[in-house]
Each structure stands twice: as C-alpha cells, then as structure tokens.
Amino acid sequence: MQEVSEKRYIDIPEEVREAYRLYRPTPLVRARRLEKALKTPAKIYYKYEGVSPTGSHKPNTAIPQAYYAMREGVARLTTETGAGQWGSALSFAGMLYGLDIEVYMVRISYEQKPYRKVMMRLFGADVYSSPTTRTEVGRRILAEHPDTPGSLGIAISEAVEQCLKDENTKYSLGSVLNSVLMHQTVNGQESIKQLAKVDEYPDTVIGCVGGGSNFAGGAYPFLSEKLRGRAEKDTEFIAVESTACPSLSKGEFLYDHGDTGRITPLMKMFTLGHDFIPDPIHAGGLRYHGMAPSLSMLVKHRIIEPRAYNQVEALGAAVTFAQQEGLIPAPETAHAIKAMIDEALRCKESGEEKTILVLMSGHGHFDMSAYEGYLNESLQPFELPQKRINETVSNLKRLYPFA
C-alpha cells in the first residue's frame, strides 16, 4: 500500500523509530580539513550513513520492511544483494524481528567481498553466490554464460523465483521502489533539521545512484522544499553514476523489467536494458541496469542532473577525502565524492561560496580490495562503449515495441 499511496507523509511506527535509535540520527559533518586542502570557498557538509549497523543507508528501509513483514506473519524474506550492503542490512533487520533471510549475492561481489558474507551469517542469514543452481533462471544463465560475474538483475530474478515457491515467503527489494525511496527520506529530513541548526541550506546536493534510494532519500526532502516553493535557495541536484553502468546518462527512458528474468512488472525508467550485464566494478551497488521511476522522471524533466565517473577517478577522490577527513568511503560513495570535489574546485575558480551537501552513503571497510587495486594501479576504469548499450536497448525495443 505504501508503494501506491498518495499521502504526502506516512508515519514511522514507534517500533521502527526505536530500532532507528540504534544509529540515528546519523552525523552531519562539515569537512573543514578538505575545504582547506582544496582551497575552496565552498562549504562542504557530508551526511554520514556509515555509522549504521551494517555501514550504509540500507537499514533505513530494511528495518521497516522486516517490521511490516513480521506484523503480517511472514516467516522468510528472500532478496538480492550487489556489494553486500543491502543483504547485510536485511539480515540485520530480519534478526531484529525474528525472520529467516535468504540472500542472493551477485557472484563478482561474493568473491571480491568475502567478509560481507561473514557479516550476513553473523546476523543469521543464508547467503548464495548468484547465479545459483537453486533456481530455474540461475540454471539457465549458468548454462549460457558459465563465467558470468552475475548482476543485480539476475540476483533479483532468483530471489523472486524462490519467493514464489512458498506462501510464507515474501521478496524484499532494497532500492528502486517508491516505498523504499520513501523509507530513505528519514535521511534528508534529518539533514534539513541538522543544517538549520547551523543556519545553513544547500546550494547543491550530491549523491551516488545505483537504483536511486540513497540519492532520493537524501535529496527528495530538499527537492520537495524547492518544488513547493518553500526553499530559500534554488538548489541543484546531482545524481552520480558509474561510467560502467550509466543508465541516466546514456540509457533510454522506456518501459522495462526490474530484473533480468523478466518476472517483475514493467516500469517506466531510464534503462540500459534488463539483459545488460555491467563490467565488474568494485561499486557493486551501482551495477543496476535501471533506475527508480520517480528519479528517472525527475531527470527526464531536467530537475535532477545526472553525471557519470569511472571508478579510478572516483577512488582517487575518495583517497583524497580519506586523507583529509579520516573516513574511508564505500566505492559507491566515492563517485559522489568525485562530483563533490569537482564542484568545490569549480567554486574555487568562480569564487562562489556555495554550500555543498554530499550524501556519504557508507564506509568502505569491506571494500579495501578496491583501494588495494587503486594503490597498485591495477584498476580498470570501465567506460562503457555506446555499442554495448545499443545492443541491449535494441533488444528491449524489439521485445516491447509499444514502450
């Protein structure tokens, strides 16, 4: 019902607020050392979700999803995970409310991030490397592409297929959906209050986008102020994706499935096509072929600006950030930091004293192999050639010519 609700606000249940108190409110911090190092007149604030139990913004929706499932008598939730952030978050939330959690983890991340598995098991979940031989869609894909690095689209298909086999099992999704984006707005609502305490309002809000929930959660409350004419500033919004998976910058605005196996309903969104398999970048959370429909619509109407960076430049920016501020960002977050530093340097040239808010979606403690690759100069940037996009998008258009 939350997915299709027309209400402007939906109350957070007291039980969920109580669980949020384990880590919320998350800190909003001014990056003074970074400002000084960049010699920028801009003021840089970061909202840091890395203090959550699993190190990212994901518990903000995992907790209410598990709570509502428990209330409805559900016994088990299945889900997919890319970098492992969402899978850990749902494992944690499931444990809070006594649910069994079954996680399909994208193969490349399963191999690159072994300790995410340990965390999920510590919180009581079962974790599988996707594609698996447990599902029909997994077996089919393994037969065709035995060496596939996997993708979020495939893992979603598997989790949904498993859920359909048992009546007491539901499927849980960590991004893209309206309800998920709405749960995440607790983040932006906190930021508005925290910034008001120091008499600030952002000129620019920057966040990374995979499925869109981190960005929407941090940015929509500010966007709502702007669109309702209540904001004191004409805030700009920058959604940062990976050049390896540039759905907003290079995809097309079409009806498509949320998963590779075409089990989910069609959604109108920017997409690279549901059978697009991104290169194995470290930012597993940015490897999604589509994008939240509401966010896609806002980009289509040029209310949000999309931007893409490759992982080498993103991790370089993250190292600069870590060396100044002492926090090691997740590879996904690194992409937002690259955009933030570019904006701060632009302010240095123009002399503008802008207030920049960057959404720090998580820490990189389980992604140190990405930094190892960066320091050893062994990382590939992965810039996606237009040809590969044309292929998967053409397939989609052939399949659904009406879209």
Q: How far is the CB of 323 from a second copy (least distance, A)?
A: 6
Angle at 84 between CA 117 and CA 160, to 5 degrees: 100
Q: Is 356 left (phi over 0), alpha (psi -120 to 50) or beta?
A: beta
Q: How far is the CB of 79 from a second copy (least distance, A)?
A: 18
Among residues 5, 71, 98, 122, the one that binds a second copy under rule CB under 8 A? 122
- Residues 40-69, one symbol each (x = binds a second copy by CB under 8 A, - = not), give -----------xxxxx--------------
Q: How far is the CB of 18 from a second copy (least distance, A)?
A: 9
Among residues 164, 198, 227, 375, the one that binds a second copy under rule CB under 8 A? 375
Does 33 bind a second copy (CB under 8 A)? Our answer is yes
Which residues face 3 on adjacent strands?
Answer: none
Residues 385 and 243: beta-carbon distance below 8 Å: no
Report the distance separating Cα 155 and Cα 132, nearest Å: 9
Which residues face 206 on adjacent strands?
Answer: 238, 358
The per-type count for the chain, helices as H runs and strands as E runs, is 16, 12
Q: Which is nearer to a second copy, 59 or 258 (CB)?
A: 59
Phi, psi of 108 (to 5 degrees): -60, -40
Does 198 bind a second copy (CB under 8 A)? Our answer is no
Q: Which is nearer to a second copy, 111 or 305 (CB)?
A: 111
Q: Which is nearer to a second copy, 116 or 289 (CB)?
A: 116
Does 344 bind a second copy (CB under 8 A)? Our answer is no
Among residues 71, 121, 145, 165, the one that binds a second copy under rule CB under 8 A? 121
Report the distance separating Cα 183 and Cα 63, nearest Å: 9
- Rg (C-alpha) for the chain, rounded Å, is 20
DSSP-derived pairing of the beta strands 169-171 and 252-257? unpaired
The kind and range of the H/E element at 205 are strand 204-208
Q: Which is nearer to a second copy, 98 or 136 (CB)?
A: 98
Among residues 10, 12, 75, 95, the one that binds a second copy under rule CB under 8 A? 95
Does 145 bind a second copy (CB under 8 A)? Our answer is no
Among residues 225, 266, 369, 381, the one that binds a second copy under rule CB under 8 A? 369
Phi, psi of 155 (to 5 degrees): -65, -35
Report the distance separating Cα 262 and Cα 77, nearest Å: 20
Angle at 211 between CA 314 and CA 143, to 5 degrees: 95
Q: How far is the CB of 65 from a second copy (least distance, A)?
A: 16
Q: Which is nearer to a second copy, 116 or 226 (CB)?
A: 116
Does 368 bind a second copy (CB under 8 A)? Our answer is yes
How many residues sit in the footprint of a second copy (CB under 8 A)?
33
Does 323 bind a second copy (CB under 8 A)? Our answer is yes
Q: How far is the CB of 389 from a second copy (least distance, A)?
A: 33
Q: How far is the CB of 196 from a second copy (least distance, A)?
A: 21
Assess whether the previous peptide bond of 25 is cis (omega < 30° from 0).
Answer: yes
| CA distances, 266 to each of 175, 211, 254, 279, 304 (Å) | 16, 15, 9, 24, 23
Residues 237 and 304: beta-carbon distance below 8 Å: yes
Query: Rule CB under 8 A: which of 249-268 touch a second copy?
Result: none
Q: Which is nearer to a second copy, 52 or 242 (CB)?
A: 52
Q: Which is nearer to a second copy, 297 or 319 (CB)?
A: 319
| CA distances, 47 to each of 84, 205, 327 (Å) | 21, 11, 12
Among residues 66, 106, 108, 119, the one that binds a second copy under rule CB under 8 A? 119
Report the distance separating Cα 56 and Cα 366, nearest Å: 11
Query: Rule CB under 8 A: which of 13-32 touch a second copy?
Result: 22-23
Report the distance separating Cα 366 and Cα 281, nearest Å: 15
Q: How far is the CB of 116 from a second copy (least distance, A)?
A: 9
Residues that bind a second copy (CB under 8 A): 22-23, 33, 51-55, 92, 95, 114-115, 118-119, 121-124, 319, 322-323, 325-328, 363, 365-366, 368-369, 371-372, 375
